[in-house]
Amino acid sequence: MDDCIFCKIVKGEINSTRIYEDEDVVAFNDIHPIAPVHFLMVPKVHVESLAQCDDSHGRLLGKMLLLAPKLAAEQGLAGFRTMINTGHEGGQEVFHLHVHVFGGGTTLPTT
């Protein structure tokens, strides 16, 4: 996807603060954090949203969810919130599947 911000971040064409990368997934800090720690996990392959996923994405989705507590712990979080916004009505602004992970501070934002 030539005009996708997160594809460009995956390819290194847009700078980001990367905290993790493997053959399937990249994680980087959100540019507008809503908590002291706030990062996004994205698949390297372009998938628009959770609504476009099917059984073939099961391994990838499982991998990202299992990665969340590991990366959160590495970032110093004892607990965290995950969020996957799906579709305009779900608050999604970037149409490349991503899992928000955020935490730290005294109160957790809900959006």
Catalytic residues: 98
Q: What is the 3-state secondary structure (H, E, C) of 92-106?
A: CCCCCCCEEEEECCC
Q: Which is nearer to ligand 5GP, 55 or 107 (CB)?
A: 107
- The DSSP output letter for 83 is E
Considering the complex, what minimum distance in angstroms separates the CB of residue 93 from ligand 5GP?
Answer: 4
Instruction: By CB under 6 A, name the binding residues for ligand 5GP.
Output: 5, 14, 16, 28-32, 85, 91-94
Q: How far is the CB of 95 from ligand 5GP (least distance, A)?
A: 7
80 binds, among Zn ion, ligand 5GP, none (CB under 5 to 8 A by kind): none
Reported in sequence order, the residue ranges of the chain that DSSP labels E, i.e. its strands, are: 18-21, 25-29, 37-43, 81-83, 99-103
